[in-house]
Structure 1
Amino acid sequence: MPLRLGAVLLATVLATPSWAADWSACPGWDQAAADESSYGYWAFASPYTYHWSDENAKDHRSVVALSISRQLPNQRFCGASLFRNSFGQPSAYAFTGWLWPQPLKAYPEVYATVSAGIIYGYVGEFKDKVPLNFGGFSPVVIPTVGYRLTPQLAVEVQVLGTAAVMFGTSWRF
Structure 2
Amino acid sequence: MKLIPRAFFKPAAAVVLGLVMGAQAHAGNWDLCPGYDQPASAEPDAPRYEAFFSPYTHHWTPDDEHEQVYAVSVSRLLPNNRYCGFSLFNNSFGQPSAYAFVGKSWPGLWKTYPKVYASVSAGIIYGYVGQYKNKVPLNVGGFSPVIVPAIGYRLSPKATLEMQLLGTAAVMFGTTWRF
TM-score interval (norm. to shorter): 0.7 to 0.9
1:18-29 equivalences under 5 Å are: 23-29=30-36
Q: Is the 8 A contact 1:2 1:121 kept in 2?
A: no
Name the counterpart of 1:19. Answer: none
Whole-Å Cα distance in 2 between the matches of residues 45 and 106 of structure 1?
Answer: 28
Q: Is the 8 A contact 1:2 1:120 kept in 2?
A: no
How far has the Cα of 1:151 moved from its partner?
A: 1.1
Q: Amino acid of the residue matched to residue 94 of structure 1? A: A
Cα gap change, 1:170 to 1:8, in 2 (>3 Å): farther
How far has the Cα of 1:2 moved from its partner?
A: 4.9
Name the counterpart of 1:92. Answer: 98
Q: Secondary structure at the match of 1:30?
A: coil
Does 1:139 find its partner at 2:170? no
Does 1:45 find its partner at 2:78? no
The C-alpha deviation readout for 1:50-86, integer Å capped at 9, x for no partner, is: 00013xx110001010000001112110000000001
* CA RMSD between the two structures: 1.8
The C-alpha deviation readout for 1:31-62, integer Å capped at 9, x for no partner, is: 022322742101000010000013xx110001
Whole-Å Cα distance in 2 between the matches of residues 162 and 137 of structure 1?
Answer: 18
Work out which of the residue numbers 140, 148, 173 in structure 2 matches 1:167.
173
Q: Amino acid of the residue matched to residue 40 of structure 1? A: R
Name the counterpart of 1:31. Answer: 38
TM-score normalised by L of structure 2: 0.84
Q: Amino acid of the residue matched to residue 108 of structure 1? A: P
How far has the Cα of 1:3 moved from its partner?
A: 2.2
Whole-Å Cα distance in 1 between the matches of residues 93 and 139 of structure 2?
Answer: 15
Whole-Å Cα distance in 2 between the matches of residues 147 and 34 of structure 1?
Answer: 20
The C-alpha deviation readout for 1:70-117, integer Å capped at 9, x for no partner, is: 011121100000000010000000000111011111111111110000
Name the counterpart of 1:78. Answer: 84
Whole-Å Cα distance in 2 between the matches of residues 27 and 40 of structure 1?
Answer: 14
Gaps of at least 5 residues in structure 2 are 1-6, 17-28
Whole-Å Cα distance in 1 between the matches of residues 41 and 160 of structure 2?
Answer: 22
Whole-Å Cα distance in 2 between the matches of residues 72 and 84 of structure 1?
Answer: 27
Whole-Å Cα distance in 1 between the matches of residues 154 and 163 of structure 2?
Answer: 12
Name the counterpart of 1:101. Answer: 107
How far has the Cα of 1:5 moved from its partner?
A: 3.9
Gaps of at least 5 residues in structure 1 are 11-21
Q: Percent identity?
A: 61
Q: Secondary structure at the match of 1:150?
A: coil
Whole-Å Cα distance in 1 between the matches of residues 14 and 166 of structure 2?
Answer: 24
TM-score normalised by L of structure 1: 0.86
